[in-house]
Amino acid sequence: MGRKIQFSLVYRDMWQSSGKYVPRVDQLKKIAPVIIDMGCFARIETNGGAFEQVNLLYGENPNVAVREWVKPFNEAGIQTHMLERALNGIRMYPVPADVRRLMYKVKKAQGVDIARSFCGLNDPRNLELSVKYAKEAGMISQGTLSITHSEVHTIEHYMNVVDQLVEFGTDEICLKDMAGIGRPVTLGLLVTQIKKRHPHIKVQYHGHSGPGFSVASMLEVAKAGADYIDVAMEPLSWGMVHPDVITVQAMLKDAGFEVPEINMSAYMKARSLTQEFIDDFLGYFIDTKNRYTSSLLVQSGLPGGMMGSMMADLQGVYASINKSLEAAGKQKLTIDDLLVQLFDEVSYVWPKLGYPPLVTPFSQYVKNVALLNVMMMYQGKQRYSMIDANTWDMILGKTGQLPGPLAPEIIELAKTQKKEFFSGVPQDYYPDELPKFRKEMEELGWETGKDDEELFEFAMHDRQYHDYKSGIAKKRFIEEVEKAKAAAAPVQVAAPAAKTDEKPKAEAKDVVSPYSGRLMFACSFYNEELCVREGVEASKGKTICYIQEKESVQQIVNENDGIIEKLCVKQGEMVKKGDVIAKIK
């Protein structure tokens, strides 16, 4: 019998890579015993990343969700692992050191065994505290490499990061091939080097299916000495997700490795439950294109988990662009035309922005620059006319050292805008904040929770936590699900309304922003008369504007027929959720 290889099921990541939401805690509790009965998993990815933020969007308590989800695996002797973003913790932007430190204490107390820590830039300075705090809390530290493919991402580059992680005291190394574009042979050579230089270190491989390399990569890293392989299962495996455990197990068994057997009866039950969750409501938020692999990802390097937000972004600008093209007598684009344009633009801007590995949040930053460039160029404007604050922080070095050099035009743009580059340790730029959040919770009469877990959640996701506590999050989520289900239902033809001579009194109605971010009013790129402005018609269903959030661009649609009486915000200004954008009369 050959060397033993074990599997980890990335169940919540399967959903995150497919659509907007992950299962609720009641659904997770329902499927956990079935996953255990499958008998083939040594590890389960249970929390971290964006998952706990999604719990808040549901109106669920993330801490209850984590405790309930990990408990059956703890009892069954299956290790649990979380995903965290080093300097960014489990959110999209930098986290103070005291909040990062509390995170590990809380998650260990909740039953999470392993901290999978990655820096999207592979900057060891951002990972040092992750290793220190994880081990301090009694967790297994899994230092992680963000895998991509470029002229600067060589085996030597990655081994430099590995050597420093081992020096910090990490217990394991994970190859996080988030876009699945790591080349199989190169990844095998990298694992060979890790095992040769640090034979005591366990290696785990995580690869998305997107462009189709990952099954070959799994075989290569297994031959090179990898200990654990991340897998998925139907009906969500493949596409932009991860290879299915059945295929991977059969492949490795044929190659002579010792792999666990799969209880197929339990597999089919877990498969059925997952489909049940899709049919319940989760499927309404999964774009069908995420079910397919695409060789276009080899060129763009975007991760599978990005496809959901990217398709939402494209839908947000697609109609506006085509309306403009049609008005100008030009041929309209298909969504695939626009997708290819975006992929091409990502490929163009990525090296100019210093080759940041395209993983959260840096994949969103690069994608946002590319999307805004495409939009600006349709307006006849220059590239980089719009860059959000978080992307500037990356460019200026406030989130870590970029792997490659910035293009001269980006450096010149920063100088023109009088922006200063930062060369210090990124964590030093973000002072401690726990006392501030503790005081605010006391003033609001909120409990800090067992092991200070509620304090942690509030400090990590303050805006979403406020919405959760107020009940707004749950109300908004229920409305969103009802709207999605109604949109998917068969169209009913309504009976004509009774005629009346009475004319209702016109009252101005507010268009309110449901998001926080930078505002861009909808505009025809070829016909200024079609642009949103005061005095023009605003029919029901008309796109009023777009709000650029951290991860995506959201479309704001008018819900009432009328005339735009007043625009309350200027083009390009920042708005907060709840701000009035326009008044329709």
Mean pLDDT of 70-74: 98
pLDDT at residue number 62 = 95
With 80 as the cut, is the pLDDT of residue 190 above it? Answer: yes
Task: Answer for the pair 110, 66: CB distance below 8 angstroms, yes or no.
Answer: yes
* Stretch among 132-146, 191-205, 286-300 having the lowest mean pLDDT: 286-300
Helix (H) or strand (E) holding 555: strand 553-557
What's the token pair of residue 363?
Answer: 């994949």
pLDDT at residue number 305 = 55
With 50 as the cut, is the pLDDT of residue 31 above it? Answer: yes
138 phi, psi to nearest 5 deg: 90, 15
Quote the mean pLDDT of the chain: 89
Task: Answer for the pair 403, 123: CB distance below 8 angstroms, yes or no.
Answer: no
Mean pLDDT of 33-41: 98
pLDDT tens by residue, 406-426: 999 999 999 999 999 998 999
DSSP letter at 241 equals S
H helices of 39-173, in order, are: 51-58, 62-76, 97-110, 124-136, 155-168
Instruction: Compute the distance between CA of residue 585 and CA of residue 576 in angstroms, rounded to an integer.
Output: 23
3-class DSSP state for residue 545?
A: strand
Query: Confidence class of residue 576 from pLDDT cuts 50, 70 and 90?
Result: confident
Peptide bond into 235 cis (omega under 30): yes
Residue 403 Cα distances to 224, 423, 522, 582, angstroms: 26, 14, 36, 43
Class for domain 509-584, per CATH? mainly beta
**DSSP per-residue string spanning 372-406:** HHHHHHHTTPPTTS---HHHHHHHHTTT---SSPP
Instruction: Compute the distance between CA of residue 302 and CA of residue 310 in angstroms, rounded to an integer.
Output: 10
* Stretch among 265-279, 337-351, 423-437 having the lowest mean pLDDT: 337-351
Provide, rounded to the nearest whole percent, the portion of the chain with pLDDT above 70: 91
Query: Confidence class of residue 552 from pLDDT cuts 50, 70 and 90?
Result: low
Mean pLDDT of 286-294: 82
Query: Confidence class of residue 498 from pLDDT cuts 50, 70 and 90?
Result: low
Mean pLDDT of 97-109: 98
Nearest to residue 404, comparing CAs of 54, 153, 92?
A: 153
pLDDT at residue number 527 = 42
Instruction: Compute the distance between CA of residue 258 and CA of residue 6 in angstroms, rounded to an integer.
Output: 9
What's the token pair of residue 221?
Answer: 């890293």
Mean pLDDT of 128-150: 97
Instruction: Compute the distance between CA of residue 154 and CA of residue 222 in angstroms, rounded to an integer.
Output: 20
Contacts of 9 (CB under 8 A, 6+ apart): 35, 41, 43, 44, 45, 230, 231, 232, 233, 245
CA neighbours within 13 Å on the CB side: how many for 63?
A: 23
Q: Residue 515, Cβ neighbours under 10 Å: how many? A: 19
Sole residue written with tokens 């057997």: 261
The CA-based dihedral angle spanning residues 397, 399, 402, 408, taken in that order and rounded to the nearest 10 degrees: -40
> Residue 77 — left, alpha, or beta (φ > 0 → left; ψ -120 to 50 → alpha)?
left
* Stretch among 96-110, 143-157, 210-224, 490-504 having the lowest mean pLDDT: 490-504
pLDDT at residue number 311 = 62
Tell me which of 286 and 190 has the higher pLDDT: 190
Query: Confidence class of residue 374 from pLDDT cuts 50, 70 and 90?
Result: confident
pLDDT at residue number 372 = 85
With 50 as the cut, is the pLDDT of residue 525 above it? Answer: no
pLDDT tens by residue, 172-183: 999 999 989 999
Q: Residue 435, Cβ neighbours under 10 Å: how many? A: 9
Burial of 501 from C-beta contacts in 10 A (0-12 / 13-18 / 19+) = exposed
Query: Confidence class of residue 316 from pLDDT cuts 50, 70 and 90?
Result: low
Tell me which of 322 and 428 has the higher pLDDT: 428
pLDDT at residue number 327 = 78
Q: What is the pTM of this model?
A: 0.81
